[in-house]
Amino acid sequence: MTKDTEKDINLAEFKEEVLAAYPKKVAKKRAKGIVYNDPDEIPQIQANVRTIPGIITQRGCTYAGCKGVVLGPTRDIVNITHGPIGCGFYSWLTRRNQTRPDEQAPENFIPYAFSTDMQDSNIVFGGEEKLKQAIREAYELFHPKAIAIFSTCPVGLIGDDVHRVARHMTEELEGKVNIFGFSCEGYRGVSQSAGHHIANNGLYKNLIGNDDSVDGKYKFRINVLGEYNIGGDAFAIETLMDKCGIELVATMSGNSTKKQFETAHTADLSLVMCHRSINYVAEMLETSFGIPWMKANFIGAEATAKTLRKVGKYFGDQELIDRIEKVIAEEMISVKEAQEKALEKTNGKLAMLFVGGSRAHHYQELFNELGMKTISAGYEFGHRDDYEGRRVIPTIQIDADSRNIEQITVYEDSTRYKPRKTEEELKALESEGLEFNGYEGMMAEMKKGTLVIDDLSHYEMEKLIEMYHPDIFCAGIKEKFCVQKMGIPLKQLHNYDYGGPYAAFEGAINFYKDIEQIACCSIWKEMKAPWESEDIVEAEYAY
Ligand code: CFM
């Protein structure tokens, strides 16, 4: 099959073929999660529902979303996993969220994995005492500014109360350290997405707004929410902001500090990178403190330029606007050079992206810049709004699994609520093309007829590869070696394998180079599974 013309790729066959292999009930359910896109009339997709038992999913757990994703990347809070050692160990550092301590916060606890290492006796007789002891030990050793406790599955099953322990230990340590717990047991939601929500609520209740001090060298002050510094992405964004003369008050939560969370309410704008994991905090900052938020994207050179221009327009300061334009013009010189070089090889190649809750969308920008077509994409745990846009939120049915997650009601802060822009100013900015509190979702930007698949199963992944032979498949470590054994290169978009940063202009250049190497390398065509080259494959058990 040649891949030169769109008509050669008959995606229409996929759904029927895949569903035929499932039992009737399963096929009925999966059919709702596999849709053909139409950007003009966005179709409804089923998302954020339980995976059918027996299907191999890409998803992680609620604990992973809370500890691993949202709180984990912060560097001066001791994050203790209350549970068996595996949960702590496997949520430790594999995501490559990087940190760089500075004079203000020299602590860096990222290299440590803190766990209570629950044993049989703790499961039978309770683990609260062991947790208290762990907190005492951590305090004596490190004197951290804050200690967070994360609940794993057994904690919920046996009824340990991490919140009571947090209160008890705050008293015992005479309030010298801010201690708080999260009820983020792995089973609490259908995926890690529930953990994000629980983490966001906890950030709001325990940290955001605790410190009114305003410092920094620039007058334009923003937060970047949903940026976790994988492979140094947040460093690239920090450098860029500095060039433009924009203060990053808080990055949530890549390379962040306790103080960044505590002072986030002093910023004048929130940019939301990963809508899925942190849109709750953006909303809470607006409701309580009057800080507007906009969806942003630093993945892709064009997207980065667009985001910077949005910030310039929002502040409406000519000096800032000029400085931003100057930075864009300067950066684009090396971007164009790298892009043209890569394009010679990458143009027309096919990509598939199945990652998390935002990157399967964001990275399509970079593939577009490489002239590559994303013929199929989907999230592991996105909600309908991440696919179809925020306008569908009122129509999303709240099921028992979502109801299980604590909802907190947020009010205007009685003394510190200060709308950064008046209604009229916001309206004027909207008429100039800025969009507040909005996100269009993945489907609005994908071509007509492309395949959008939620919570892709392993079987469906194999079928996609068999039927369409993409030049690159983007997913995670669980998929990596299965896909590569099928002769297709896989780029991990969770931890970037060993690469990155991929954000901002400098990241785009890195990405062009890496993808050119990976997707245009002929070695993959030489890959043959043993059963393809030998008549009989024999093996013996190794005991
Ligand atoms: Fe947001 Fe993320 Fe993602 Fe995510 Fe994640 Fe991640 Fe991800 Mo892995 S917060 S939704 S829970 S952008 S860890 S940094 S790469 S699945 S697409």
* Catalytic residue, candidates 59, 96, 196, 362: 196
The residue written with tokens 């047991």 in the block is: 185
> CA-CA distances (angstroms) from residue 441 to 241, 386, 391?
25, 5, 10
Alpha-helical runs (H) found in 233-371 = 233-244, 258-263, 275-289, 301-315, 318-346, 359-369
Please indicate, yes or no, if residue 130 is contained in any of the structural domains.
yes
pLDDT > 90: what percent of the chain?
Answer: 93
Ligand 1 atom closest to the CA of 64, numbered from 1: 11
Which amino acid belongs to residue 294?
A: M
Please indicate, yes or no, if residue 74 is contained in any of the structural domains.
yes
Please indicate, yes or no, if residue 170 is contained in any of the structural domains.
yes
Please indicate, yes or no, if residue 121 is contained in any of the structural domains.
yes
- Round to whole Å and give the CA distance between 476 and 479: 6
81 and 88 in contact (C-beta within 8 Å)?
Answer: yes
How much distance in Å is there from the Cα of 356 to the middle of ligand 1? 5
Q: Interhelix angle for 359-369 vs 504-519, to 10°? A: 80
- Residue 356 Cβ inside 6 Å of ligand 1? The answer reads yes
What are 325-378's pLDDT values in tens digits?
Answer: 999 999 999 999 999 999 999 999 999 999 999 999 999 999 999 999 999 999
Which amino acid belongs to residue 49?
A: V
Residue 18, both tokens: 């895949």
Please check the confidence at residue 492 and state whether its pLDDT lies above 80.
yes
Please check the confidence at residue 4 and state whether its pLDDT lies above 70.
no
* Catalytic residue, candidates 61, 244, 264, 508: 61
How much distance in Å is there from the Cα of 317 to the middle of ligand 1? 34
State pTM to two decimals: 0.95
Residue 530 pLDDT grade (very low, low, confident, very high; cuts 50, 70, 90): confident
Per-residue pLDDT, 167: 98
The protein residue whose alpha carbon is closest to atom 1 in ligand 1 is: 274
- Residue 62 Cβ inside 6 Å of ligand 1? The answer reads no
Per-residue pLDDT, 536: 84
Please indicate, yes or no, if residue 71 is contained in any of the structural domains.
yes
452 and 442 in contact (C-beta within 8 Å)?
Answer: yes
Number of domains the chain is built from = 1
Active site residue 61: yes
- Residue 95 Cβ inside 6 Å of ligand 1? The answer reads yes
Please check the confidence at residue 5 and state whether its pLDDT lies above 80.
no
- Residue 346 Cβ inside 6 Å of ligand 1? The answer reads no
- Residue 230 Cβ inside 6 Å of ligand 1? The answer reads yes
Please indicate, yes or no, if residue 134 is contained in any of the structural domains.
yes
Residues 6+ apart with CB under 8 A from 230: 95, 96, 97, 98, 254, 494, 495, 496, 500
170 and 177 in contact (C-beta within 8 Å)?
Answer: yes
83 and 154 in contact (C-beta within 8 Å)?
Answer: yes
Residue 279 pLDDT grade (very low, low, confident, very high; cuts 50, 70, 90): very high
Per-residue pLDDT, 9: 84
* Catalytic residue, candidates 75, 82, 95, 265: 95
Residue 79, both tokens: 């994050």
Rounded mean pLDDT, 131-152 = 98
Mutate to test the pocket of ligand 1, among 48, 93, 494 (most ligand atoms within 8 A of CB): 494
- Residue 271 Cβ inside 6 Å of ligand 1? The answer reads no
The protein residue whose alpha carbon is closest to atom 6 in ligand 1 is: 494
The residue written with tokens 């007509």 in the block is: 448
Active site residue 163: no
Rounded mean pLDDT, 376-386 = 98
The protein residue whose alpha carbon is closest to atom 8 in ligand 1 is: 494
The protein residue whose alpha carbon is closest to atom 5 in ligand 1 is: 356
Per-residue pLDDT, 535: 82
Active site residue 196: yes
Ligand 1 atom closest to the CA of 381, numbered from 1: 10
- Residue 234 Cβ inside 6 Å of ligand 1? The answer reads no
Half-sphere exposure of 320 (CA within 13 A, CB side): 19
Active site residue 95: yes
How much distance in Å is there from the Cα of 358 to the middle of ligand 1? 7
How crowded is residue 106: how many other Cβ atoms within 10 Å of its Cβ? 9
Rounded mean pLDDT, 144-156 = 98
Question: Over the chain, what is the mean pLDDT?
Answer: 96
* Catalytic residue, candidates 64, 166, 301, 303: 64
Kindly provide the residue ranges of all beta strands, DSSP E only, lying in 16-64, ordered along the sequence.
34-36
Residue 533 pLDDT grade (very low, low, confident, very high; cuts 50, 70, 90): confident
The CATH number of residue 79's host domain is 3.40.50.1980
Please check the confidence at residue 399 and state whether its pLDDT lies above 80.
yes
Please check the confidence at residue 7 and state whether its pLDDT lies above 80.
no
Ligand 1 atom closest to the CA of 70, numbered from 1: 9
Rounded mean pLDDT, 93-106 = 94
How much distance in Å is there from the Cα of 230 to the middle of ligand 1? 9
Please indicate, yes or no, if residue 248 is contained in any of the structural domains.
no
Please indicate, yes or no, if residue 390 is contained in any of the structural domains.
no
- Residue 372 Cβ inside 6 Å of ligand 1? The answer reads no
Per-residue pLDDT, 532: 79
Please check the confidence at residue 8 and state whether its pLDDT lies above 70.
no
- Round to whole Å and give the CA distance between 444 and 388: 7
Domain ranges, residue 165: 62-188
Ligand 1 atom closest to the CA of 196, numbered from 1: 11
Please check the confidence at residue 288 and state whether its pLDDT lies above 60.
yes
